[in-house]
C-alpha cells in the first residue's frame, strides 16, 4: 500500500507550492507531480456546488483511495513519500482522517502573518478572475455569507488564518514531535537553512537543497476596469449564460480569457496599515492562542504599521 510518509499540511499562500517544488528535487524524497490532491478533505466524493470556480476544482480532487495511492506508484524504492495539500490544517475533519490512515505521518506547517496571508489569498483569486469583490476588506466581510453558501475553503480569507484553533486541534490527534511548525519568512529569507530544517525533520540528508523556486507568487494585481469586469464575469461562469456550456468547454475558454485579463498589470499588491487595523481584531485572540499552544511568540503579527515583507 503506497501512502505518504509526510504531508505539507498548511497553509495556503504561505510558500507550500515552493516547498513542494524544492523537496521534489531531493533524491531521498518523492512527491507526485499532482500538487494538492486533497484526498483527506472528504470521506467520499467532494461537494457538487460552491463558489466561482469551485465545481471545476472539486472535479480535480483525488478522493478514491486507489487513485490516491497510484500517485505514489512512480516513486523509487526506499524514497520517503509526501504530498502537499495546504488545506489539511484548516479542515479539522482531515486531522482524524489522516490519523486513521497514516498515524505515523509527519506534518509540515508553514504559517504566515494571517492578514498578509488573507490579502495574498484575495489577490490570487482576484487575478484569476474569480473574486467578485474589488475591495479586499469587502471580500473578507462577505466570508460568513460565502461559508453559509458552501464556498470552498480557499474563499475563507479569515478562517484559514486562525491557526491557533487549528494547531490546537491537530495536537489532539498527533504528538508534537510529528509536527514541524515553520514561518513563511524562514523559507523566504533563509531558504537553505529552512530546507535543511525540513530535511532533518524528515530524516533525510541535509545540505542537498539550497534554493526555493519562485512558485505561485502574486507579483502584480490585475486592474479593475470595465473590460476586465466583463472578463471576470465570464471567468466566474458567466451567470446563466456561462452555465449553458459543459465544464470542459468552460475550462478550455479560461486560458484565452485569462490572457486578456492579464494584458495590463497594476502594481505589486501590499497590505495597507488600514487593512491591518480593520482585520487584526479578527485574529488577535487566535494569535494569543497560537502562542499559548506552541510556546512560540507570534506577537510581531499584531503590529499594524509595518511592511508585508516582514511576515
> What pLDDT sits at residue 218?
55
On the question of pLDDT at 261 being above 50, the answer is no
Q: What percent of the chain has pLDDT over 70?
A: 80
The pLDDT of residue 215 is 60
What is the pLDDT averaged over residues 110-122?
96
The average confidence (pLDDT) of the chain is 86
Taking a C-beta distance cutoff of 8 angstroms, is the pair 143, 159 a contact? yes
Q: What is the mean pLDDT of residues 194-210?
A: 97
Least confident of 89-98, 193-202, 241-250: 241-250
Lowest mean pLDDT among 80-94, 113-127, 139-153, 293-307: 293-307
The pLDDT value recorded for residue 84 is 98
For 35-49, 60-74, 249-263, which range has the lowest pLDDT when averaged over its residues? 249-263
> Which parts of 32-91 fold into alpha helices (H)?
54-58, 65-70
Average pLDDT over residues 4-14: 97
Q: Which residues contact 78 (CB under 8 A, 6 or more apart)?
A: 28
Residue 242: band (very low, low, confident or very high) from pLDDT cuts 50, 70, 90: very low
Given a cut of 60, is residue 195 above it in pLDDT?
yes
pLDDT for the residue 264: 52
Region 17-29: mean pLDDT is 96
- Please tell me the CATH code under which domain 6-218+268-301 is placed: 3.40.50.300
pTM here? Answer: 0.84
Q: Is the pLDDT of residue 270 over 60?
A: yes
- Going from N- to C-terminal start, the domains of the chain cover 6-218+268-301, 226-262
For residue 231, pLDDT beyond 70? no
* Helix 92-101 vs helix 163-171: crossing angle, to nearest 10: 30
What value does the CA radius of gyration of the chain take, rounded to a whole number of Å?
19
Cα-based distances in Å from 291 to 145, 184, 284: 30, 16, 11
| Predicted confidence (pLDDT) at residue 72 exceeds the cutoff of 60 | yes
Buried b (16+ CB within 10 A) or exposed e, 129-155: bbbbeeebbebbebbeebbeeebbbbb
Amino acid at each position: 500500500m503506497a501512502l505518504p510518509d509526510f504531508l505539507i499540511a498548511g497553509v495556503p499562500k504561505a510558500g507550500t507550492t515552493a516547498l513542494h517544488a524544492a523537496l521534489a528535487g531531493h533524491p531521498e524524497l518523492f512527491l507526485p507531480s499532482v500538487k494538492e490532491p486533497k484526498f483527506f478533505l472528504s470521506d467520499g466524493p467532494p461537494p457538487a456546488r460552491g463558489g466561482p470556480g469551485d465545481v471545476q476544482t472539486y472535479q480535480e480532487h483525488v478522493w478514491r483511495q486507489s487513485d490516491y495511492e497510484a500517485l505514489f506508484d512512480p516513486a523509487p524504492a526506499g524514497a520517503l513519500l509526501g504530498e502537499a495539500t495546504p488545506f489539511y490544517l484548516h479542515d479539522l475533519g482531515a486531522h482524524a482522517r489522516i490519523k486513521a490512515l497514516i498515524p505515523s505521518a509527519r506534518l509540515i506547517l508553514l504559517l504566515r502573518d494571517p492578514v498578509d496571508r488573507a490579502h495574498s489569498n484575495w489577490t490570487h483569486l482576484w487575478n484569476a478572475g474569480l473574486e467578485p469583490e474589488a475591495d479586499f476588506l469587502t471580500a473578507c466581510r462577505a466570508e460568513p455569507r460565502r461559508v453559509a453558501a458552501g464556498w470552498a475553503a480557499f474563499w475563507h480569507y479569515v478562517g484559514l488564518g486562525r491557526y491557533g484553533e487549528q494547531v490546537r486541534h491537530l495536537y489532539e490527534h498527533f504528538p508534537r514531535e510529528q509536527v514541524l511548525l515553520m514561518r513563511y519568512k524562514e523559507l523566504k529569507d533563509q531558504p537553505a537553512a529552512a530546507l535543511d530544517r525540513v530535511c532533518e525533520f524528515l530524516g533525510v540528508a541535509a545540505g542537498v537543497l539550497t534554493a526555493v523556486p519562485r512558485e505561485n507568487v502574486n507579483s502584480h494585481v490585475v486592474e479593475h476596469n470595465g473590460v476586465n469586469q466583463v472578463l471576470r464575469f465570464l471567468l466566474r461562469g458567466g451567470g446563466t449564460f456561462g452555465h449553458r456550456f459543459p465544464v470542459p468547454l468552460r475550462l478550455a475558454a479560461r486560458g484565452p480569457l485569462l490572457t486578456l485579463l492579464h494584458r495590463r498589470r497594476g502594481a505589486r499588491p501590499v497590505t495597507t496599515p488600514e487593512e491591518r487595523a480593520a482585520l487584526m481584531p479578527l485574529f488577535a485572540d487566535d494569535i494569543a492562542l497560537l502562542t499559548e499552544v506552541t510556546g512560540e511568540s507570534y506577537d510581531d503579527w499584531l503590529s499594524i504599521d509595518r511592511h508585508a515583507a516582514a511576515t
